[in-house]
Structure 1
C-alpha cells in the first residue's frame, strides 16, 4: 500500500517489504513507525537530521527485533535467559487502531497514528493473559515525538497480571565520549553488570568511558542528554514511568552482537523511560497509561560548559 490516509500520515513498504507509517509535520520533521513491533525507526528534525540510532546491521526480518530506534519492552524488561527477552511486543505485527477509545488530549496540530496489539494463541503459551495494548505515536508541531501507551487487562478469568516495561530508546550521538546525561545524579541505581546490585550515583553527571547498563530508580520526570559536539540536547519527559535505564554496550559487547556494528557504540546511547523495579499489576478491566515525550533542542554554552539547567527549566 502507498495510499495517503491524510496529508500527514502515509502507509508504505519499508525494508524487506514490512509495512511502515510515515508521519510528516508541516515544518519538515518526520517519524517512521513499522507495524512490526510498533517500532519507531526514524525521527528527523526540521533540517532532516536523524535523531535516533538504528544499526547498519539491523535485521528487519521477523522474528528478530529491530536493533535501534525505539523498541517497546513488554510484558517484561529482562535479559535473564527468557525465550522472549525484553518481551514479545517488539516482535509482533501490530494493527492500525481505526477506532480507539478517547485518548488524553492530543498535542494541538500534532500528527498522530494509533496502533493496537492483542495476544495471539502463541502469545498465550508464553504469557497466559488477555490484554489490549494501545499506542499513540504523535509528532508535535515543534518536532517533538510523543509515545502514549495504554495497556488494559481483558482477562475473563478474574486474574490480575503483572509486567515490567520500557521504551528502549536509542539516541543518535556524535561521540559517546563527548556525551553527558543530566538529571540522574545522586540517585540509586541497579547495575545490570553486577547482578542488579544497588548503588548510589556519585558523579555530578553521567559520562561514558566503558560499558554501562544501569537502571536508575525514582527518577525525575525530565532527563537531559547533552551532545557537546553537535551542541544538541535531548530532553526525555516521562509520565508514569519511575525508572530510567542508561545503556551503552561499548566495544566488546558490540563486537559480540551480530546485528550491531563493531564501532557503532560510539554513536549511540540508550536512555529509556521504564517501570522495572516495581512491576505493574493490573486487575481485570484496569488500564495503565504512560507516556514519553522526546525533544531535541540546541544546547547553550555557559563558561565553556553546556548548561542543562537552562534547557530543563525552559520546558516547564
Structure 2
C-alpha cells in the first residue's frame, strides 16, 4: 500500500498518511502542519477551529503548529517564528515496521523574502511525522547549515481535542493533578516525562525527548471571544499541552539538535 497520497486540506496542499493498520493523519505542506490524526479507533485527536484560515494567508488555528526559531514574543522576530507560515517540501514518505511516515523539509531558500531577511542564518529543518495503531510520533531536526552560530527556540504547539475543558485533567506538570478552570497560560521548565492528559475515559500519554519544557494553554471564554479565528465556545473543545525548548542551545556551524514527541 502507498503510505502517503497528495490531497488538499481546505485550499492547502497536503499529504494523507495511512498506516497498514488503518491509522491516518493529514499534514499540510504549509507549516508542515499536522492537522488531523486518527488512530485505529477512528477518533479524531486534534482540534482545528472551524474559523481557521486554510488558504495560507495566516497560521492555522489548531493541529500541531511548528514553532521555530522563536517562541511567542520571546525575541525580536515574528511571534512564534516563520516555520508555521512557510511552505515546506516533501523529502520522504514510506512505511517502516508498520508505521506510515512523512518527512518535510525547510531551508532558507524556501522562505518568503521578508522572513529570510529577518533571520539571515543558514539552517535546515526536517520534521518527521509517523503514525501506527493509536500512536503518533514527531521528530524535529534542526541543523546549522550556515557559517555563523545561532540560538533558537522550538515547540510543537499541539491542540488536543477534548470533550470539555472543564473535565480535563493533566498529570506531570505540577505536583497535583492540574484542572483548567479559566484562562490558562503557563510555561513549565524542566519537565520530567511522561505527562498524561485525561479526558473522560481516555488517557493520552505524552513523552518528549530533547524538548526540556512544556507549555499548557487555553484562552478561556474572554480571550477566545477576542480571537478572530476561533468561535466563542470552541475554547471548551481543546487544550494545548506542547513540548517546548524555550532556551535552546547555540548551534555552531554543522551542529544539530533533535527533539522527539510521542502521543499514545
TM-score (norm 2): 0.94
Match for residue 14 of structure 1 among 9, 16, 33: 9
State the partner residue of 1:238. Answer: 208
C-alpha separation in 1, matches of 2:55 and 2:245: 28
Identify the match of residue 145 of structure 1 among 136, 141, 144. Answer: 136
- Give the match for residue 19 of structure 2: 25
- Tell me how far apart the structure 2 counterparts of residues 145 and 117 of structure 1 sit (CA, whole Å): 21
Please, what TM-score do these two structures have when normalized by structure 1?
0.79
Contact 1:182 1:224 in 2 (8 A): yes
SS in 1 for 2:117: helix
Q: Which runs of 5+ in 1 are unaligned?
A: 1-5, 100-105, 187-203, 296-316
SS at match of 1:36: coil
Deviation at 1:63, TM superposition (A): 3.5
Query: For residue 124 of structure 1, what is the aligned residue in structure 2?
Result: 116
Tell me the CA shift for residue 31 of structure 1: 0.4
Residues 30 and 143, structure 1, Cα contact 8 Å, conserved in 2: no
Aligned-residue offset at 1:279: 2.6
CA deviations over 1:76-123 (Å, ceiling 9, x no partner): 101369662100000000001149xxxxxx962211111100113432
Q: SS of the residue aligned with 2:244?
A: strand
Distance (Å, rounded) in 2 between the aligned partners of 1:263 and 1:98 = 39
Could you say which residue in structure 2 is the equivalent of 1:60? 54
Are the structure 2 counterparts of residues 153 and 81 from structure 1 closer, same or farther at C-alpha, using a change threshold of 3 Å? closer
Does 1 or 2 have the higher relative contact order (CA < 8 Å, sep 6+)? Answer: 2
Residue 293 (str. 1) matches residue 246 (str. 2): no
Residue 110 (structure 1) aligned to one of 92, 99, 112: 99
Looking at structure 1, the residues matched to 99 and 197 of structure 2 have their Cα atoms a distance apart, in angstroms, of 24
Is structure 2 residue 263 aligned with structure 1 residue 274? no
Structure 2 CA distance for aligned equivalents of residues 20 and 62 of structure 1: 12
Q: Looking at CA atoms only, which structure, 1 or 2, has the larger radius of gyration?
A: 1
Q: Distance in 2 between matches of 1:98 and 1:50?
A: 25
Q: Which runs of 5+ in 2 are unaligned?
A: none
Task: State the match for 2:85 in structure 1.
Answer: 91
**Does the aligned pair in 2 maintain the 1:243–1:273 contact within 8 Å?**
yes
**What are the superposed Cα offsets for residues 241-293 of structure 1, whole Å, 9 maximum, x if unpaired?**
110000000000000000011001111000000011x2321000001111101
CA drift at 1:12: 1.4
Relative to structure 1, the CA distance from residue 58 to residue 82 in structure 2 (aligned partners, 3 Å threshold; closer, same or farther) is farther
Pairwise CA distance, 1:144: 0.8
Q: Secondary structure at the match of 1:279?
A: coil
Give yes or no for contact 2:30–2:85 (8 Å, CA) kept in 1: yes
CA contact (8 A) 2:17 2:101 kept: yes
How many angstroms does 1:128 deviate by? Answer: 1.4
- Specify the alignment match of 1:214 in structure 2: 186
Partner SS state of residue 49, structure 2: coil
- The yes-or-no answer on 1:182 pairing with 2:171 is yes
